[in-house]
Amino acid sequence: MNWDQIEGRWKEIVGTVREKWAKITDDEWKLIAGKKDRLLGKIQAHYGKQKDVAEKDLDEFIETIKPK
């Protein structure tokens, strides 16, 4: 699944993504609004990961979400 598909289905899959990165607050999830760069920034901030590591983790996780 590519990120355009993720953005289009954000309201459907945000719960699944929230389970993976539970340290991100409810207000931050509203600000992320399906934008990959925003989510990466929050993953970096809350989990202390470098950008390339956070992006690899996110991409691998997104691959596990089944498209409809």
Question: What domains does the chain contain, in order, with CATH numbers?
Answer: 3-14+26-63 (1.10.1470.10)
Phi and psi of 26, rounded to 5°? -60, -45
- pTM for this model (two decimals): 0.89
| pLDDT surpassing 90 at residue 2 | no
Tokens in use for 19?
A: 């389970």
- Cβ contacts of 37 within 8 Å, gap of 6 or more: none
pLDDT digits (tens, 9 = 90+) for 15-63: 999 999 999 999 999 999 999 999 999 999 999 999 999 999 999 999 9
Angle subtended by helix axes 36-47 and 51-63, to nearest 10 = 120
